[in-house]
Amino acid sequence: MADAKNVTTAKPKIGGAIYTAPLGTKLPTDAITKLPDTFKGLGYISDDGLVNTNSGKSETIKAWGGAVVNSTQTEKEDTFQYTLLEATNVEVLKEVYGPENVSGTLDTVIAIKANSVELQEHVLVFDMVLKGGILKRIVIPNGKVSEVGDITYADGDAVGYETTLSAIPDDTPEANTHYEYIQKPKATTDLESKTTEGAK
């Protein structure tokens, strides 16, 4: 039976929504447990939010006369798109240019090398708050930045990195590309369950 209570929207949790960790880091298996310090926050993303494209492409097989007799999946990409806004955050710059191409701090100097070195796979976690304070966490065991859009430097716009992340199948028999956990918080302190809007 249809239930309007199951219709929801999503907001980032306080402190950011995207976290990154080295490949092989132990993955969370719920929406509540606090992430260890191994995970580094990537700060604010634009109000376009997070877009997940997770649809397969199929090829139909037709019999003589045009009747469709079968359909086989030829590929299935799982990608995430978002725009990182914290252009002076070292972790964000490492995500865009690669950890080996970014060094230093704002207090000294942040040095960035732009080159063709291939970006490496890593773990990512997206945390959000749904309607009614319900928590949702998306876990990507093996993600790789596959595209970064044009970077615009202008008076009226925030500098942002429009990022496309490809989720690569893990080593499970099902070859999963990402996991999702949706959970009611046990207490108001779980994962800072208030939204940034609710904190204002």
CB 191 within 8 A of CB 31: yes
- Residue 47 has a pLDDT of 87
Q: Could you list the pLDDT tens digit for every one of the 200 residues in the chain?
A: 654 455 444 555 554 589 999 999 999 999 999 999 999 999 989 888 899 987 655 555 566 666 665 544 445 689 999 999 999 999 999 999 999 999 999 999 999 999 999 999 999 999 999 888 899 999 999 999 999 999 999 888 889 999 999 999 999 999 999 999 999 987 655 544 444 444 33
Listed by start position, the domains of the chain span: 15-28+39-52+76-192
- Residue 200 has a pLDDT of 38
Cβ-count burial of 64 within 10 angstroms (0-12 exposed, 13-18 middle, 19+ buried)? exposed
Cβ-count burial of 130 within 10 angstroms (0-12 exposed, 13-18 middle, 19+ buried)? middle
| DSSP label at residue 5 | G
- Residue 76 has a pLDDT of 64
Distance of CA 13 to the CA centre of its chain: 14
Model pTM score: 0.78
- Separation between Cα atoms, residue 186 and residue 189, nearest integer Å: 8
CB 121 within 8 A of CB 168: yes
- Residue 156 has a pLDDT of 83
